[in-house]
Amino acid sequence: METTYARWAKCYLDRWFWWATQSRLRPMWDFSWVLRRNEDGLMNYFRMPFDNGAVEGISNKTKVVSHKAYGFQTAKSLTRNLYQCMAHLPLPKTVHRFA
């Protein structure tokens, strides 16, 4: 199944590339050559459909936790806070709350 899917994608990309280069639209021509230069990477996705969405999500959440605290004094406190937020652990009873 994966090989059929990859072949179909290659055929579609080739047809689209021909159309884009014949269209006389300079931005389409430029973009089509960017795709052509990166064709191996594009076709790898169709052979093995993995993406890095989960990694990007974790990275974004790390940035949010770091920005909420306006930086940490030590790496240990950042790590502790990340574990706390990403694992959805309950807050310890020693934490003071203002509400």
Number of C-beta neighbours around residue 32 at 10 A: 20
The pLDDT tens digits of the residues spanning 77-99 come to: 878 888 888 787 776 666 556 55
Which stretches of the chain score pLDDT less than 50?
Answer: 1
Contact 43, 80 (CB under 8 A): no
Does the pTM surpass 0.75? The reply is no
